[in-house]
Structure 1
Amino acid sequence: MSADGLVAVTTHASEPDAAVAEIARAIAGVPLAGGLVFCSHRFERTELAAALDKLMPGIPLFGCTSAGELTTRGYDSDSLVFVGFPADAFHLELLPFTDLDNFDPEAARKQVRHFAGSCRNVAALALGEGLSHVALFLVDGLSHREELLTMTAQEALGEIELIGGSSGDGLAFKETGIFFDGHFQRDAAVIGLLSSSRQMQAFSANHYRPGGERMVITEADAETRTAFEINAVPAAEEYLRVVGQPSQTLDAAFFASHPLMVRTGGEYHVRSIQSANADGSLTFYCAIDRGVVLTVGEPVDRVAAMRELFDQTEGKVGQIDHIIAFDCVLNRIDAERRQVAHEVSALYTEKGVIGFNTYGEQFRTAHVNQTISGLAIGR
Structure 2
Amino acid sequence: MDELIVITSHCGDPEMVVADLARKLSGRALAGGLIFCSHRFAKQPFARSLQNIVGQVPLVGCTSAGELSDRGYDEDSVVFIGFPADSFRMAIHCFDDLDRFDPAVGGQAIRVLASQMTRESLIVEGFVNQAALFLVDGLSHREELLAMTVQDALGKTLLVGGSSGDGMRFRETAVMVGGRFLHDAAVVVMLASRRPLRAFSAHHYLPGGDKMVVTAADPKERVVYEINARPAAEEYRRVAGGGPGPLDSAFFAAHPPMVRAGGNHYVRAIQSVNGDGSLTFYCAIDVGVVLTVGEPVDRLSQLEAMFDEIETEVGEIDHVIGFDCVLNRIDAESRQMSGAVSQLYSRRGVVGFNTYGEQFRAAHINQTLSGLAIGR
Measured in 2, the distance between the counterparts of 1:245 and 1:83 equals: 41
Secondary structure of 1:30's counterpart equals: coil
CA contact (8 A) 2:2 2:86 kept: no
CA contact (8 A) 2:49 2:179 kept: no
Q: Which residue of structure 2 lines up, in the alignment, with residue 311 of structure 1?
A: 308
Residue of 173, 181, 185 corresponding to 1:184: 181
Q: Which residue of structure 2 lines up, in the alignment, with residue 335 of structure 1?
A: 332
After TM superposition, the score normalised by the length of structure 1 is 0.98
Residue of 129, 142, 145 corresponding to 1:145: 142
Measured in 1, the distance between the counterparts of 2:345 and 2:124 equals: 33
Measured in 1, the distance between the counterparts of 2:138 and 2:297 equals: 27
Per-residue deviation, residues 142-168 of structure 1 (Å, max 9, x unmatched): 000000000000000000000000000
Pairwise CA distance, 1:247:
1.9
CA contact (8 A) 1:90 1:127 kept: no
The alignment status of 1:117 with 2:126, answered yes or no, reads no
Secondary structure of 1:156's counterpart equals: helix
Secondary structure of 2:272's counterpart equals: strand
The alignment status of 1:81 with 2:116, answered yes or no, reads no
Measured in 2, the distance between the counterparts of 1:191 and 1:44 equals: 24
Q: Write the letter of the residue equivalent to 2:144.
A: E
Which deviates more, 45-54 or 188-197? 45-54
Measured in 1, the distance between the counterparts of 2:124 and 2:56 equals: 17
Q: Which residue of structure 2 lines up, in the alignment, with residue 55 of structure 1?
A: 53
Secondary structure of 1:350's counterpart equals: helix
Measured in 1, the distance between the counterparts of 2:176 and 2:165 equals: 12
Pairwise CA distance, 1:26:
2.2
Q: How does 1:120-135 map to 2 (within 5 A)?
A: 120-124=118-122, 127-128=125-126, 131-135=128-132
Pairwise CA distance, 1:269:
0.1
Measured in 2, the distance between the counterparts of 1:267 and 1:95 equals: 31
Per-residue deviation, residues 301-332 of structure 1 (Å, max 9, x unmatched): 11111111111111111000000000000000
CA contact (8 A) 2:93 2:113 kept: yes
RMSD after superposition? 1.0
Measured in 2, the distance between the counterparts of 1:323 and 1:124 equals: 22
Residue of 72, 88, 95 corresponding to 1:90: 88
CA contact (8 A) 2:2 2:87 kept: no
Q: How does 1:1-379 map to 2 (within 5 A)?
A: 4-124=2-122, 127-128=125-126, 131-379=128-376
Pairwise CA distance, 1:126:
5.8
Q: Write the letter of the residue equivalent to 1:316.
A: E
Q: Write the letter of the residue equivalent to 2:4.
A: L
Measured in 2, the distance between the counterparts of 1:185 and 1:261 equals: 32
Pairwise CA distance, 1:25:
2.3
Pairwise CA distance, 1:123:
1.4
Measured in 2, the distance between the counterparts of 1:254 and 1:229 equals: 19
Secondary structure of 1:19's counterpart equals: helix
CA contact (8 A) 1:89 1:127 kept: no
Secondary structure of 2:342's counterpart equals: helix
Q: Write the letter of the residue equivalent to 1:268.
A: H
Q: Write the letter of the residue equivalent to 1:288.
A: I
User: Structure 2 stretches of 5 or more lacking a match?
Assistant: none
Aligned residues, how many?
A: 376
Secondary structure of 1:62's counterpart equals: strand
Q: Write the letter of the residue equivalent to 1:89.
A: S
Pairwise CA distance, 1:125:
5.7
CA contact (8 A) 1:237 1:246 kept: no
Pairwise CA distance, 1:124:
2.8
Pairwise CA distance, 1:370:
0.1
Measured in 2, the distance between the counterparts of 1:124 and 1:295 equals: 44
CA contact (8 A) 1:235 1:282 kept: yes
CA contact (8 A) 1:36 1:82 kept: yes
Pairwise CA distance, 1:24:
2.0
